[in-house]
Structure 1
Amino acid sequence: MHDLKRKALGSSPLDELGIRDLLIPDSDPVSEPADQGVTSVMIDVTTIKPNPYQPRKHFSAASLEQLSQSIKAQGLLQPIVVRKNSQDEYELIAGERRLRASQMAGMTKIPAVVKQITDQACLAFAIIENIQRQDLNVIELAQSLHSLATKYGMTHSDVGRLVGKSRAAVSNVIRLLQLSSEVKVMLVQGVIDMGHARCLLSLPEKDQASVAQKIVDQQLPVRDAEALVRNIIGGAIKKKNGSFKIDPDPRLSQIVDYIAKQYQGIKLNIRAKESGGGVLHIQYDAEKDIELLLKKIQ
């Protein structure tokens, strides 16, 4: 196993893992031919095992069909990349979308470049390839980065160097795995955005889905969602008859108590809103009572 903590000055994790030459330029994998210096072999598609480290779980059916039609017309000009596993079988490293589309196109053999790389390098390459092509949704990305960190003992800084992200960016993405399964689905489907998801991380997992739904139902912007979560964290929200009752800021309650003692004819009531704002209701017994209060305020 490569120890990413023992690096030569100026070295790159891509070089240490031996995967830099595997990275395919950002081009059309069908219309762009492979590098002339790369030697490929024709492999039976039925003998190719899937990449066990493939972070991408979902492939667009429409996109695969479009690629399949292109392969039928032009052939597959960009080879897939495979390796020999411990059972001497061909195992996919890169190009699962191309492999699937080729099978849909009825191809029995396709060009492949055979490389020998480690499990760690295989996982790293699959993640990097998908990141470069923006093929992973945010939860798939979080799971992939987490796998790199846990399976190979990498720090978040190590992972960041490997995939071209800052340590903070890696940590923030991995934290999304703490979301409940329901909220993860909402995030992937675009029902909530990253700002909403980040503020929900402050809540216990059991409460996240219900609060997320409230954010969606009320179409709360991120700032108001953050205020709602702050109220919950502060112990201000209590469930009553299936709905939320929000207690006002304790400092406002102290002011209300003070005024009630100073001005016997005036009653104040504060109703806090989930957005973080609220309503101040003033009730007075006689006009002279409110006039006295207004003079004091002025």
Structure 2
Amino acid sequence: MMNRILLAHAAAAGAALSAGTAVVATRFVIGETDPLSLVFYRYLVSVLCFAPFLPRLWPRTGLTAGECAKIAMFGILFFVLFPWGFNASLELNPAARGAVGLATIPIQTLLVAAAFGREQLSKAKISGVMLAFGGIVIAFGTAAFADGSSSYLHGDVLMLLGVLCAAVYSVFSRPTLMRHGPLFVTALGMIFAVAVLFPVVAFKAGGVLQPSFSARGWMAVLFLGTVAGTLQFSLFMLALRWLPPTTTVLYLTLNPIAAMILGIVLLGESLTVELVAGMILVLAGIMVGSGVRAGHRKAAPADA
């Protein structure tokens, strides 16, 4: 059991670091398409990656209509509404401001879990979430809020609503992940998401799907669908299966930090005192809130 818990922590960290690169890739390609179409093409690539393995992942006990409906709902929440809000926000707001909004996911997950009694909140969890969010605000606050714009508030609302969808998914999907396996639920959820988006994107394109991405744009889409899609969400679902939702999403505060570090390495951006201080607070928040030091003596209940 302890090995699974440690693996789940590593998976959560890996998913968050992978997601940091998705911010850069999304900002790179969003100018060539619209937010909803980007979601469709990204997860179409992910579905194609999962397709050869789906027969092996299919549960031996089969699926009831109710379970299929539940996975479809989860797929729409996490693979349609969340990324659409994320993409649409980054179309309006700078990446730094979007990073601050994205970092509210542990707070929103904490509130949803508390409101529905899905987790027993502790001082350690609350302190960890506040420390991690404080680190993001310190690291990105100046860049995020230095220049105001009337469109920024619209972008903030879209990001917060998208994050709320991810928080609801994180809290309520765990029992389904436990029953059917994280990879199968991820793959089937993405299939439902692509099926829902297909007629919408086809209508927007006049009935013919002919994406006009540049060569670099296609590279970004392929990256978003594979490394930042299939791999990233598989790791996240694996972590969510074995860790409480508030612990799993706490690692997502590494996402914007990873994006900023990537900017330093690839784009020659400068390392600032604010970034270092923010990183220290984020790591401290993860240590405190996830119980890494004390260990996981008790897992969250697998509510039906």
Could you say which TM-score interval applies, normalised by the shorter chain? under 0.3
Query: Higher strand share goes to which structure?
Result: 1
TM-score, with structure 2 as normaliser: 0.22
TM-score, with structure 1 as normaliser: 0.22
Larger radius of gyration, structure 1 or 2? Answer: 1
Query: Higher helix share goes to which structure?
Result: 2
Higher relative contact order (CA 8 A, sep 6+): 2
